[in-house]
Amino acid sequence: MVSPGTLRVLAELRESDRDVIEPTVAKTGAVTYPFVEQQLDDRDGDPEAFLEAMTDRELLRPAFEYKVYICPDCAGEGMQYSSGCPSCGSVHATREPVIVHATCGGTLESDSFEDGDDATCPGCSEDVTEADLERQRRYRCHDCGSSFDDPTHRLWCRDCDGIYPPAETREEPLYHYHLTVAGEEWTVAQLEGRRSLADAFDARRYETSVDTTITTADGEIPVHVYAEDGLLEDCIVADVHESPTEDDVSRLCEAAREVDARPVVLATDGTVDERVADLIDAEGVTVLSERDDELTSEYEITERPREPNSLLDRFVSALESSASRS
């Protein structure tokens, strides 16, 4: 399906200075794509579904950008990592140099040897010399005084000052999307097909609008091309699709009936499957394709697609593979 909104997104991505679709984290904490939202129509669904569909068709290529953590309290993003005290939970803990009695693990103040004398270990009460000690770095909690090697992990929200373990926050990976080479070629084919339709209607003195809407009793319906001859009271609603599906044809016919127009569909790859061809005949839809840069009413009818990955398909495929090796 090539909806006007779908083509609008890819065309804008190709033709404008923008070369990437970038994510934004909304105030609710949801990852959004404002550029896609602005270009799509209400009937196109949500931007995430669009991006997934375009990625599956290899028209867009996702690239991992980074991850953000969403605050469970205020939905703020960009939480900051901090080490924490395992005893009291405070994040006011810093890694500092300490002197450790190797025998018992007790810690001494660094000024214990300022006078060059021996000192007493506070952990085991033994007299120690510098030879008995190791200089290390440990975390010290400034709230409860605990000393520790392994801090807890915490995320601090800069918006509400909440502090949470990472497991209590929401992790959101962010991706940006680029138009692939195949995506650019596909977009050009759809745009050129739509332009050919509009030019053909213009040549017949229709008043033609591209990427527009028609007004119906239920609201506005986006269409690729709308052409009207006021003198002859003739209207045409035209859609552009790589190879139209039954849903594409049904939506086109619904829109055409609403404004008493003739439905026309351009199949940019020049094919229509059997099931769609039956619907086209029943609904009186005009199908066009483009050959040698000219529109023609000739198109190829292909076999109707079977359900993918069925047991029968796998069995037949295995037989064909076996036969080809023998």
pLDDT digits (tens, 9 = 90+) for 99-118: 887 778 777 766 555 555 66
Give every CB contact of residue 16 below 8 A, 6+ residues apart in sequence.
Answer: none
What's the confidence (pLDDT) of residue 304? 57
Does pLDDT of 324 surpass 90?
Answer: no
Which string of b and e fits 224-247 if b means at least 16 CB within 10 Å?
Answer: bbbbbeeeeeebbbbbbbbbbbee
pLDDT more than 70, % of the chain: 89
Whether 289 and 257 have beta carbons less than 8 Å apart is answered as: no
The H-or-E segment that residue 15 falls in is helix 4-15
Residue 204: which residues within 8 A CB-CB, separation 6 or more? 229
Q: How far apart are the first and last CA of the chain?
A: 41
Name the segment(s) of the chain with CATH classification 3.40.1350.10. Answer: 184-302
Closest CA to 171 of 296, 66, 316, 301: 66
Residue 319 pLDDT level (bands cut at 50, 70, 90) = very low
Residue 311: is its pLDDT beyond 70? no
Q: Which pLDDT does position 113 carry in this prediction?
A: 57
Q: 7 with 163: CB under 8 angstroms?
A: no
| CATH among 3.40.50.720, 3.40.1350.10, 2.60.40.420, 3.40.50.10440 for 184-302 | 3.40.1350.10
pLDDT of residue 109: 67
Query: pLDDT category, 1, cuts 50, 70, 90?
Result: low
